[in-house]
Amino acid sequence: MQFDPTTCSPFLLLVHHRHRFSKFNPVVRWASKLLLPEGFPCHPHRGFETVTICMRGGMKHRDSVGVKQHYGVGNNKAGDSQWLRAGEGIMHEEMWDGEEEQELYQIWVDSPRDEKMAEPRVECLTTKGEGTVERPWEGGADVYIGRVEVGEGETREVPVRPGHDTVIVYNRRGETLTVNGERVRTHELAILDGRMCGGVIRVGGGAGEVLVMTGKPLRQRVAMGGSFVMETEEEVETARRDFQRGTFGNTWDHEVGDEEWRRTIGR
């Protein structure tokens, strides 16, 4: 779901990805190898941040700045979420770790204009409390991102921070859930004006779970071109040319081992 930047800034996009496959199925293995790799092979970004939250399964990450991570649900993982700042440009891959069930959110958050060409950075983290994800470094757009579970007959309240005029609530599960008194069906969104919420978001109406995103609008122009998010079309075109010239780094195949990956990126 791509958002209207005039009403949803600093949020740009939300993907709720649900995937089930058997790694022992020969058809799936053939398709994965030749047609549709299980995940997201090497690709570029510039000018924004991605927040990936795993609810089932996990992801294996490698990038052009030499970072390798394994994150998701379960043991032996660095955390259940990842926060990535693309900044001036990064190449990365996010591949499934082999679990049969995968479920995750990926959220795109616009970067303030003076941080769009910052140094790329990526860290794994563990959601706090019920599922709050916090940026692990200073700077960036002022946002709150959290998962909220609601029990039958219960109403949960989420405070809206001062200045967070953008409020987005996504219903992961719960057919009868309401947000501030309005019904929101499963896999649907409620987009609210934080100034009209009385400082709180109330979720109730039945058992379920929602993703709550609130943020302070950046009040800047947005030009999106594929995986580049800048302020003007000219800047997006510059990003494309920089990528084609190899400024972001060399590309690699998702099937290569770590030694060849590091050799490719020069690390």
Query: Which residues are registered as beta bridge partners of 238?
Result: none
* Dihedrals phi, psi of 4, to nearest 5 degrees: -80, 115
Does 43 appear as a known binding residue? yes
The DSSP call for residue 57 is S
Query: Which residues are registered as beta bridge partners of 72?
Result: 58
What tokens appear for 1 in the block?
């779901």
* Other C-beta atoms lying within 10 Å of the C-beta of residue 124: 21
Q: What is the dihedral of CA 17, 20, 24, 30, to 10 degrees?
A: -50
DSSP 76-137: S-S-SEEEEE-TT-EEEEEEE-S-SEEEEEEEEEEPPGGGTTSPPEEEEE--BTTTEE--SS
Name the E strands within the chain: 11-20, 39-45, 48-56, 58-63, 68-72, 81-85, 90-96, 101-110, 121-125, 132-133, 143-150, 156-159, 166-173, 178-179, 182-183, 189-193, 200-204, 208-215, 223-225, 228-230
β-pairing verdict for 143-150 and 132-133: antiparallel
Does 187 appear as a known binding residue? no
Q: How far apart are CA 238 and CA 233, in angstroms?
A: 9
Query: Are the C-beta atoms of 39 and 95 separated by less than 8 Å?
Result: yes
Residue list for the binding site: 43, 45, 92, 94
Residue list for the binding site for Fe cation: 43, 45, 92, 94
